[in-house]
Structure 1
């Protein structure tokens, strides 16, 4: 495992430093807007296929069974929306020199203060998302060191490793690491799937499902192993839709979209990357196999089910390969999450309050602030035992409060900054207020609360926008990807080199 991690880290750092050339926020945060189809493929997949895809989904299959099918639905829906939305984000970013998601909110709605609000919401959602990577990294650190580290120490070590990696070169290093770990992920999934039947006494892959169903009736049907669980068909549909609508709204995926060389590269990825979701079939299979084999991770932690199964049933070199791959699965996306938090904080929270913050100081502040965000993520992680899927749904519920504004920014010229702010407040109230939680639990117990809060948010944005002054044409032009010259000329959207 150590060879895999150190070799990839060294290659990533070297690649990032050679590509960077000069230390600027644009180069560090959006890769100089030069990621071609292949690198963009791995960068984009690196943000979708993390340790959640392997440890989280296999653990959910081990613990609940059929609810793990959420992975299939959410990925397919996400890319259907991404094919339409991501090129629009890319065009707006290139035409107006946007670097962060909050830049978009500031420009599109003509309100710097809304950029600050969007930046804070985005940071909150990203810090929750970092938890997934820290939980996974800490499990692998404990495995690599033979359990000699406590859970607390392992989480701290995981955060330090993640910070060290992202400090060295930024987005391009993460793209390089994402390419390596994606290849390794395919190798690991194929290797384990090809041998798992023999490890659990099954005659074939399909026989693994048969044995799991025989030992645990209902495992392959919703709501899964627990008949009283709310994870039925309505939960599956609403949760998948909530994930799909919120996915491209995450600030780091905004920056990934900005980083593409062309809109064509984005669309090609959106067409082909749903094929990656086929890997979830084998990941779920491994979770079922672990359950069939009687795997018992420490403390009943579902996130450790696959690691424990591999440790129990496979030789040491396989354990090292799986652990090393899992390390990279967490390291690459986790680094980008922290990088985005730093970019948002420096550029969209501090800079509007401190005029004259130059590029060099903004870059330094961005890097330093990541330490604080990593510390918050560590604090949130300690003493918690939720599954990675549950943590993921928390993160999507939070970022979903920006989703109505993003979609309406491209669809409805009348959307106003005051409407967006009112929607965010109403949405968080519907998501977090005790009276709202009680109401949803009593009347719509099977629905994903994040989607319900997003619907409340949307209605409020529309109503308030109708009664507040419409934004200016220059602001509306951002949603149409018009440059300043286009606005003055009243012509069609003409984007600079690399136009879709």
Structure 2
């Protein structure tokens, strides 16, 4: 047991937990019994708060633990996250501005709310909500895996369920302050999290090379290590994974702001100018991500070995960076670094659970179970749902053990990408028929999940399921027909599933119109997508929805 490291970690963890509970008094609202207040922080976060909130939401344990672990195990493939975050912000800027405006005008809290208004389809909105919840589960699980890796490195590595006990305790604290303070809690804690992360990483990227002979020597040692092993890692991409790298980067960029938690941070901002400023400033985190990825090479050069998980008996690749810090830093600074990683997991986990709870409350509970729910009842239901979501994520940790924890996020990406036609494309055109969107979603989801199921955890033996997110083109099949039987080039499953989704939607749309299938009403008008603030009262909102329905008819 590393008592000094554990002491520093515990002190900082308790500090941010207290902040989480006190956050309910920060920018205090008249009442927290409303989703706008509990789930969106009153929709009034300015540029700085939004920058820390969205940054804390997007740059998670995925960044601090999973990406370096992938670089450690696979090499160049792990750097897909850099082009992904480079193309991301210019790609999503204009769609996010339109989503913020139409959501502010109509009071939408979730992307499924928008789909419900755009297409007048409760079924399609429910599918979008369920997709968002399911896709968020493994993403929260990834955060908890990062937190558990830190605890394991400090000596909390028992077998069986006892090995997960510290995680359950951390989960309970997170659940309680999220229940009380809503989105204000992670927004406030994000300030502390980002400060710690920047300090730790800036020290690491300058101090570690001085101990290991410089970055040139580190990369040379990494290449030599891989050349003498059969791990499959490489400094350069191979002939079979270049397409995987490109589709993974683009698919991840398209998926990120389809996640409900990403949109939650955007909808909580106070205006379109705030979003513009953040899309310019957020790439600063991409620089941080690149430096973090290099730690995978540093761990190789330092001869780091992952800790064996006491619960499963298998090496835990998530412990690569914590073990590197334990070996290279003093105990007190290692404890500081562990706290940065742990808090970096708690902030996004809180936002993700809030976003999933908003989806459940607005688009399942209120839509189907209690249409007459009051704002206070909605807020109560969302608080309870956030607890259930976190519990589901903990179960994911216990029962799903992919080769790399980053696969949890990539699997979630395959799922959430299937909402792109109904959410993102709909911001610009309503040409796709609502029933064609349902059919496309079904095909993309079923095929994508089936393909993910077929990917083995152990490629050498072919055993297990949900072992990753890439498939060889030779495995691509349409009703038993394999058009590329001898091509071993890998591709991201999510990219293929999305193409099938779009193909079905585009082909069925004119057929459905030819048969006269009902299109549903559109509650939005073009002016809604450019609004800079909400209408002054409910009467104007109702008039806007009425005019949208008239225009649709």
The aligned residue for residue 257 of structure 2 is 248
Q: CA distance change for structure 1 residues 302 and 369 in 2, over 3 Å: closer, same or farther?
A: same
The aligned residue for residue 108 of structure 2 is 98
Match of 1:433 among 447, 450, 456: 450
Separation in 2, partners of 1:86, 1:13: 30
After TM superposition, the structure 1 stretch with the greater mean CA deviation from structure 2, 144-153 or 350-359, is 144-153
The answer to whether the aligner puts 1:472 opposite 2:521 as a matched pair is yes
Report the Cα offset of residue 275 of structure 1. 2.8
Q: Taking structure 2 as the reference length, what is the TM-score of the superposition?
A: 0.82
Whose helix fraction is larger, Structure 1's or Structure 2's? 1
Q: CA distance change for structure 1 residues 393 and 435 in 2, over 3 Å: closer, same or farther?
A: closer
Report the Cα offset of residue 402 of structure 1. 0.3
Separation in 2, partners of 1:218, 1:82: 42
The SS at the match of 1:147 is coil
Q: Within 5 A, what are the aligned runs for 1:34-113?
A: 34-113=44-123
The aligned residue for residue 284 of structure 1 is 293
**CA RMSD across the alignment:** 2.7
After TM superposition, the structure 1 stretch with the greater mean CA deviation from structure 2, 408-417 or 154-163, is 154-163
The SS at the match of 1:351 is helix
Separation in 2, partners of 1:350, 1:361: 10
Report the Cα offset of residue 313 of structure 1. 2.3
After TM superposition, the structure 1 stretch with the greater mean CA deviation from structure 2, 8-17 or 371-380, is 8-17
The aligned residue for residue 332 of structure 1 is 347
Report the Cα offset of residue 229 of structure 1. 8.1
After TM superposition, the structure 1 stretch with the greater mean CA deviation from structure 2, 331-340 or 428-437, is 428-437
Separation in 2, partners of 1:39, 1:280: 20
After TM superposition, the structure 1 stretch with the greater mean CA deviation from structure 2, 73-82 or 394-403, is 73-82
Match of 2:209 among 184, 193, 197: 197
Maintained 8 Å contact 1:51/1:133:
yes
- Superposed CA deviations along residues 171-196 of structure 1, whole A, max 9, x for unmatched, are 12111111221121111101111110
Match of 1:457 among 501, 506, 509: 501
Maintained 8 Å contact 1:252/1:337:
yes
Separation in 2, partners of 1:78, 1:473: 29
Q: Taking structure 1 as the reference length, what is the TM-score of the superposition?
A: 0.90
Maintained 8 Å contact 1:72/1:277:
yes
The aligned residue for residue 496 of structure 1 is none
The answer to whether the aligner puts 1:165 opposite 2:188 as a matched pair is no
Which segments of 5 or more consecutive residues in structure 2 lack a partner in the other structure?
Answer: 1-8, 309-314, 455-473, 532-540, 549-553
Maintained 8 Å contact 1:90/1:263:
yes
Maintained 8 Å contact 1:414/1:470:
no
The aligned residue for residue 428 of structure 2 is 411
Maintained 8 Å contact 1:107/1:478:
no
Separation in 1, partners of 2:228, 2:524: 53
The SS at the match of 1:431 is helix
Q: CA distance change for structure 1 residues 18 and 284 in 2, over 3 Å: closer, same or farther?
A: closer
Maintained 8 Å contact 2:118/2:522:
no
Maintained 8 Å contact 1:35/1:261:
yes
Maintained 8 Å contact 2:131/2:416:
yes
Report the Cα offset of residue 358 of structure 1. 1.3
The SS at the match of 1:382 is helix
Report the Cα offset of residue 273 of structure 1. 1.5
Q: CA distance change for structure 1 residues 118 and 228 in 2, over 3 Å: closer, same or farther?
A: same
Maintained 8 Å contact 2:179/2:384:
no
The aligned residue for residue 378 of structure 1 is 394
- Superposed CA deviations along residues 275-323 of structure 1, whole A, max 9, x for unmatched, are 3211223212211111111111123322110101111222111110111
Report the Cα offset of residue 216 of structure 1. 3.1
Which segments of 5 or more consecutive residues in structure 1 lack a partner in the other structure?
Answer: 491-500
Report the Cα offset of residue 385 of structure 1. 3.0
Maintained 8 Å contact 1:415/1:471:
no
The SS at the match of 1:412 is coil
The aligned residue for residue 186 of structure 1 is 198
After TM superposition, the structure 1 stretch with the greater mean CA deviation from structure 2, 146-155 or 184-193, is 146-155
Separation in 2, partners of 1:383, 1:251: 24
Separation in 2, partners of 1:103, 1:481: 18
The aligned residue for residue 140 of structure 2 is 130
After TM superposition, the structure 1 stretch with the greater mean CA deviation from structure 2, 477-486 or 252-261, is 477-486
